[in-house]
Amino acid sequence: MTISRRVFLGGSTAIATVAASQLARMGSSVAQSDRVLNLYSARHYDTDSALYEGFTQKTGIKVNLIEADAAKLIERIKSESAASPADVLITVDAGNLWRAREAGILQPVRSRLLQTSIPVNLRDPGGYWFGLSRRARVIVYNKEKVKPSDLTTYEALADGKWKGRILIRSSSNVYNQSLTGSILHAHGEQKTEDWAKGLVANFARNPEGNDTAQIKAAAAGVGDIAIANTYYMVRLAKSSKPEEKAIAAKLGVFFPNQRDRGAHVNICGGGVVKTARNPEAALKFLEYLVSREAQQIFASGNNEYPVVKGVALDPVLASFGSFKSDLMDAAVFGKNNAAALKIMDRAGWR
Ligand code: FE
């Protein structure tokens, strides 16, 4: 199992990657100190270390990081049960945060600061999880093949004119499950199934690879448009590799549904673990993550949109333009997840 562990000691960072078995042996002494926050994170961006160091500098509390994908972390907290050292769980996509709440591993917290800083549609109504950064799921188009005036909505991608032209990853990916969940909320089951069938009929190839793979395939002409999260485009555009920069230069970003509900926006977020040994530090950590300083790190580190107003965007991200976001409750994506997955399955979206 690939679970890695790092300890962040503000300023100087000691990084140790150890096997999960070894981890179980070394975990407990660290876990019991109230000067340590045990963070389970499914984010895998190296730039996040700046967040942990910033928190340690402010509070003197060290961050002990366990990294794995969301499903593994949720499973692990469940199986560790009352013995879990985890204080905070952070993951991407509201669908995963919803699953964590459903799994019973989070506890509700009340914080005036979190409530006033984070828009109401980007946090759990019961205080189980909070959105910390935003990402839009957009249409990336090959500028040689598609004009922005050819594009309108997610719904219109089911039109026959896109036959053989659309690149999108598999239905096993939570980003697509949440997008489909948002269509389901907007249009109901029958229309969503018709849409999914039309979309699948327009695929340029059987789904393979991640969002970056779809973007690269659009630039290479495998298809004409790709569906991807905004930060993947920024990452390519800012790459130190000239071939990746060239890929981004061939492509445009289109924000769908600007004349109706707005572009689909998802979040990265976190919550306090039910069995947290250090719940005060856990809350402090979530509160730190909505500070201007931390929000700026989200914005410049992984090129995400902040949840807090007035924080500057990465210049490349800002160059995509401002847009109207769908203000649908992020909790809906989780609520609709199972139904969305069934629809995708019936539509033959593999
Ligand atoms: Fe991602």
CA distance 9 to 36: 10
**135 Cα: distance to centroid of ligand 1 (angstroms):** 9
**265 Cα: distance to centroid of ligand 1 (angstroms):** 13
pLDDT tens profile 118-163: 999 999 999 999 999 999 999 999 999 999 999 999 999 999 999 9
Helix 70-80 × helix 94-102 angle, to 10° = 20
CA distance 172 to 168: 11
Tokens describing residue 54: 């910033």
The whole-number pLDDT of residue 47 equals 85
Per cent of the chain over pLDDT 70 is 91
Residues of the chain with pLDDT under 50: 1-2, 9-31
**15 Cα: distance to centroid of ligand 1 (angstroms):** 23
**33 Cα: distance to centroid of ligand 1 (angstroms):** 33
**45 Cα: distance to centroid of ligand 1 (angstroms):** 10
User: What one-character-per-residue DSSP string does 200-242 give?
Assistant: HHTBSSS--S-HHHHHHHHHHTS-SEEEEEHHHHHHHHT-SSH
The whole-number pLDDT of residue 45 equals 79
Strand partners, 251: 142
**220 Cα: distance to centroid of ligand 1 (angstroms):** 21
The whole-number pLDDT of residue 258 equals 98
User: What one-character-per-residue DSSP string does 40-106 give?
Assistant: EE----GGGHHHHHHHHHHH--EEEEEE--HHHHHHHHHHHGGG----EEEEESHHHHHHHHHTT-E
- Which domains are seen in the chain, by residue range? 2-133+267-312 (3.40.190.10), 135-263+321-346 (3.40.190.10)
The whole-number pLDDT of residue 90 equals 98
CA distance 136 to 238: 18
**24 Cα: distance to centroid of ligand 1 (angstroms):** 28
The whole-number pLDDT of residue 319 equals 97
The whole-number pLDDT of residue 8 equals 59
**77 Cα: distance to centroid of ligand 1 (angstroms):** 22
Strand (E) or helix (H) holding 34: none
CA distance 70 to 93: 10
**93 Cα: distance to centroid of ligand 1 (angstroms):** 9
Residue 37 in contact with residue 62, Cβ under 8 Å? yes
**216 Cα: distance to centroid of ligand 1 (angstroms):** 15
**44 Cα: distance to centroid of ligand 1 (angstroms):** 9
